[in-house]
C-alpha cells in the first residue's frame, strides 16, 4: 500500500512538473524568447597587505614603486677592443723594443684580424640630476668605450670618474642635466623579511622589475678577489640575473638600499639568491670617487674572526656573536687606540656588529684620520675605546690616486726591503713582493712572492717610493729585474701596462 502511494505521488509530481514546463514553453512562444543561464561569478579583486613603519596595515602595491624607480635605472654597454695579434701573447700590447728583444715567435702566432670588439652589458643607477651614475666595477673595468642608454632610449658616452675593486663599485658621468634620480636610503635600517624590488637589464631584457624580500644581511661570499675586498652584502630572493649587475635594489618607497652585484647559482642564472652592496657603503665610495678619484679607506689593523658557538667554547666567551680580535698589526690604529688581543668588538658607533664582514663594512665607511668608537668586551668587562683610523701605509694621510691604482693594477703588496736582507743579497736596496693577488703580475708573469725588484726598465729602485715613481704614467711594456733570496743570478719579468 505504501509503495503504491509513493509511486502515485511520484507520478503526480512528474506530471505537475511537465505541465509547468509546458506552460512556460507556451508562454514563451507568445513572447520574445528568453534564455536562462547561471550568471558567471564576478571575481573579487584580491588585496595583499603589509605593515608600514608605524605598524599600520597598508596595501602592498609595487606599481607606484616601479614607476618611481624605473626611469633612474640605465642600461650600460661596455666595449673592449682586443687585438687578435695578442692571442697567445701573455703580455698584451708590447712596444717594438720588447718584440725585437724577445723575437716574434715568443709572443705566439699572429692573427691578421686586427682589433675586435668584445661587448658586455650591465645596469647602472642615476644618483644625481647632473649625470652621475653608479654601477659595478666589473661591468666597466676592462672597457675602452662605455655607452649608457636611459629608459627613454636616449644614448650617451660615459666617462669613468673612478673605480673601487675592493667593493666592486664604479662611478660614471654623462653630459646631461635634469635627469631622474634614485635616492639613497639608510641601509642600516633595512630588515630581514622586508619587501624590495630589483630593477635592471637582465639577459638583454631592458627595464625589468622583480620583487622579493631581504633574505639576510652581512653576507660574505668570497666573490671579490681584490686584496682589500669588503664584502658585507644584502641577500635577496628578488630575481637577479646576468645583466642586473650595477642595477638597483629598492624599498617600497623607491629608495636605493643596495647595488645588485652577484648571484649564488650553480648554473650562472638566478636560482634563489642575489647579493647587493649596501647603500651606506655605496654612498661613502661614490663621494670619495667624486672628491678624490679614489676611495679613502680607514684601516683598524686587526686580525679578526666572527664569534660562533665553537669559538665561544674555545675562548670561554659568554656570547656567540661579535668579532673576536686574534691579534693586532704592529703600530696599528687599533693598538694605538687601546684595543687588545682577545677583545670582542660588539658595536661600532653604537651599531651592533655580529660578524667580521659587518665590522669590515662599518669601518669601510670611514676615512684615515677619522675616529670611531668601538664597544669592546674584555674578559667580561664592557668598555668603549676611540680609535683614529690609519691608511694602508700606517698613517693618517689621504691616499693619492696614482699610488693606489698601480698597486691594484699589479695585484701585489710591495714593501721596501730592510737593510739586513739587502746586505745579504749584496744590493743597495729594492722592493719585496710580499703578497700576490689577482692582477698583472700573477696573470702575465711567473713572479713569486719574495722576489726583490731592484730595477724597472734598467732604472734602479731602492724603495717603494722610487718604484711607484718609475711606473707613474707609464704605458706599454715594463721589464722588472731582481733576484730571489737564496737563488743565484738575476731574474727578469715583463708585462704590459
DSSP assignment of 324-366, as one string?
EEEEE-TT-HHHHHT--TT-EEEEETTEE--SHHHHHHHHTTS
Catalytic pick among 78, 185, 245, 306: 245
pLDDT of residue 107: 40
* Integer Cα distance of 272 and 405 in angstroms: 36
* Integer Cα distance of 72 and 199 in angstroms: 10
* Integer Cα distance of 481 and 484 in angstroms: 11
364-378 tens-digit pLDDT: 999 999 999 999 999
* Integer Cα distance of 453 and 493 in angstroms: 10
pLDDT of residue 222: 87
- The question of whether 151 is a catalytic residue gets the answer no
Domain 52-295: which CATH number of 3.40.50.300, 2.40.50.1070, 2.40.50.100, 2.40.10.120: 2.40.10.120
143 phi and psi, to 5 degrees?
A: -80, 140
Residue 117 reports pLDDT greater than 90:
no
Helix or strand holding residue 445 (H, E): none
- The question of whether 75 is a catalytic residue gets the answer no
Catalytic pick among 168, 237, 288, 403: 168
Q: 401-496 has which CATH code?
A: 2.30.42.10
Residue 358 reports pLDDT greater than 80:
yes
What is the arithmetic mean of pLDDT over 259-269? 87
Residue 472 reports pLDDT greater than 90:
no
Q: Calculate the alpha carbon distances from 249 to 60, 141, 187, 279 in Å.
A: 17, 22, 11, 9
187 phi and psi, to 5 degrees?
A: -70, -15
DSSP assignment of 69-131, as one string?
HGGGEEEEEEEEEEEGGGTT-TT-S--HHHHHHH-GGGG----TT-EEEEEEEEEEEE-STTS
| Banded model confidence at residue 398, pLDDT cuts 50, 70, 90 | confident
What is the arithmetic mean of pLDDT over 4-19? 40
Residue 266 reports pLDDT greater than 90:
no
Q: At what angle do helices 401-410 and 464-471 cross, to 10 degrees?
A: 90
Q: Is the dihedral of CA 350, 351, 357, 361 positive or negative?
A: negative
DSSP at 24: H
Residue 186 reports pLDDT greater than 50:
yes
What is the arithmetic mean of pLDDT over 204-219? 94
Q: Which residues of 245-256 are buried (b: 16+ CB within 10 A; e: fewer)?
A: bbbbbbbbebbb
Instruction: Specify the long-range contacts of residues 7-16, CB closer than 8 Å, at least 24 apart.
Output: none
The least confident of 145-149, 157-161, 389-393, 459-463 is 389-393
475 phi and psi, to 5 degrees?
A: -135, 155
Helix or strand holding residue 11 (H, E): helix 2-30
Tallying the residues shown for the chain, one arrives at 497
CATH topology match: 302-388 vs 401-496: yes
Domain boundaries, the chain: 52-295, 302-388, 401-496
In contact, 193 and 251? CB cutoff 8 Å: no
pLDDT of residue 231: 92
pLDDT of residue 45: 53
* Integer Cα distance of 418 and 218 in angstroms: 39
pLDDT, greater one: 166 or 126: 126
In contact, 62 and 83? CB cutoff 8 Å: no
pLDDT of residue 111: 46
What is the share, in percent, of the chain residues with pLDDT greater than 70? 80
101-112 tens-digit pLDDT: 333 433 444 444
67-97 tens-digit pLDDT: 999 999 999 999 987 655 444 444 444 444 3
330-356 tens-digit pLDDT: 889 999 999 999 999 999 999 999 999
Residue 143 reports pLDDT greater than 90:
no
- The question of whether 168 is a catalytic residue gets the answer yes
* Integer Cα distance of 279 and 277 in angstroms: 6
User: Which CATH fold topology does 302-388 show?
Assistant: Pdz3 Domain (2.30.42)
What is the arithmetic mean of pLDDT over 457-483? 89
For the record, the C-alpha cell of 247 comes out as 642595477
Catalytic pick among 138, 187, 279, 288: 138
* Integer Cα distance of 174 and 180 in angstroms: 13
SS3 state at 225:
coil
pLDDT of residue 104: 40
411-458 tens-digit pLDDT: 887 888 888 888 888 999 999 998 777 778 988 899 998 999 999 999
* Integer Cα distance of 187 and 192 in angstroms: 12
Task: Provide the terminal-to-terminal Cα distance of the chain, rounded to the nearest Å.
Answer: 113
290-328 tens-digit pLDDT: 998 889 999 999 999 999 999 999 999 988 999 999 999
DSSP at 395: S
Amino acid at each position: 500500500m505504501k509503495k503504491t502511494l509513493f509511486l502515485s505521488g511520484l507520478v503526480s509530481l512528474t506530471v505537475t512538473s511537465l505541465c509547468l514546463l509546458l506552460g512556460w514553453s507556451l508562454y514563451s512562444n507568445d513572447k520574445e524568447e528568453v534564455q536562462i543561464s547561471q550568471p558567471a561569478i564576478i571575481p573579487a579583486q584580491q588585496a595583499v597587505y603589509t605593515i608600514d613603519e608605524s605598524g599600520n596595515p597598508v596595501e602592498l602595491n609595487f606599481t607606484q614603486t616601479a614607476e618611481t624607480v624605473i626611469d633612474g635605472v640605465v642600461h650600460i654597454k661596455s666595449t673592449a677592443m682586443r687585438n687578435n695579434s695578442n692571442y697567445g701573447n701573455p703580455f698584451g700590447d708590447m712596444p717594438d723594443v720588447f718584440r725585437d728583444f724577445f723575437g716574434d715567435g715568443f709572443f705566439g702566432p699572429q692573427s691578421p684580424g686586427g682589433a675586435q670588439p668584445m661587448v658586455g652589458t650591465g645596469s647602472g643607477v642615476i644618483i644625481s640630476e647632473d649625470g652621475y651614475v653608479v654601477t659595478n666595477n666589473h661591468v666597466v673595468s676592462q672597457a675602452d668605450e662605455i655607452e649608457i642608454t636611459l629608459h627613454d632610449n636616449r644614448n650617451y658616452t660615459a666617462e669613468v670618474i673612478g673605480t673601487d675593486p675592493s667593493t666592486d663599485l664604479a662611478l660614471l658621468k654623462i653630459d646631461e642635466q635634469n635627469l631622474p634620480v634614485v635616492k639613497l636610503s639608510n641601509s642600516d635600517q633595512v630588515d630581514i623579511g622586508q619587501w624590495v624590488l630589483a630593477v635592471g637589464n637582465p639577459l638583454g631584457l631592458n627595464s625589468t622589475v622583480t620583487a622579493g624580500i631581504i633574505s639576510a644581511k652581512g653576507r660574505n661570499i668570497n666573490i671579490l678577489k681584490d686584496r682589500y675586498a669588503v664584502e658585507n652584502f644584502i641577500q635577496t630572493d628578488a630575481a637577479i640575473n646576468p645583466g642586473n649587475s650595477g642595477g638597483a635594489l629598492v624599498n617600497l618607497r623607491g629608495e636605493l638600499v643596495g647595488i645588485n652585484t652577484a648571484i649564488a647559482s650553480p648554473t650562472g642564472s638566478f636560482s634563489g639568491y642575489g647579493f647587493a652592496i649596501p647603500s651606506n657603503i655605496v654612498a661613502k665610495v661614490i663621494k670619495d670617487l667624486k672628491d678624490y678619484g679614489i676611495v679613502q679607506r680607514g684601516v683598524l689593523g686587526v686580525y679578526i674572526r666572527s664569534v660562533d658557538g665553537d669559538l665561544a667554547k674555545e675562548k670561554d666567551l659568554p656570547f656567540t656573536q661579535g668579532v673576536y680580535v686574534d691579534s693586532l698589526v704592529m703600530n696599528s690604529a687599533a693598538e694605538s687606540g687601546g684595543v687588545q688581543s682577545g677583545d670582542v668588538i660588539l658595536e661600532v658607533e653604537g651599531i651592533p656588529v655580529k660578524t667580521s664582514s659587518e665590522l669590515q663594512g662599518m669601518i669601510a665607511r670611514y676615512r684615515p684620520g677619522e675616529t670611531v668608537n668601538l664597544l669592546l668586551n674584555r674578559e667580561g668587562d664592557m668598555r668603549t675605546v676611540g680609535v683614529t683610523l690609519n691608511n694602508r701605509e700606517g698613517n693618517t694621510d689621504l691616499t693619492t690616486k696614482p699610488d693606489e691604482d698601480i698597486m691594484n693594477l699589479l695585484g701585489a703588496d710591495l714593501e721596501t726591503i730592510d737593510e739586513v736582507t739587502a746586505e745579504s743579497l749584496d744590493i743597495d736596496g729594492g722592493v719585496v713582493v710580499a703578497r700576490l693577488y689577482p692582477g698583472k703580475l700573477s696573470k702575465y708573469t711567473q713572479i713569486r712572492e719574495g722576489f726583490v725588484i731592484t730595477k724597472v726598465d734598467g732604472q734602479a729602485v731602492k724603495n717603494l717610493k722610487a718604484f711607484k715613481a718609475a711606473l707613474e704614467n707609464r704605458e706599454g711594456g715594463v721589464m722588472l729585474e731582481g733576484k730571489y733570496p737564496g737563488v743565484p743570478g738575476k731574474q727578469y719579468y715583463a708585462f704590459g701596462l
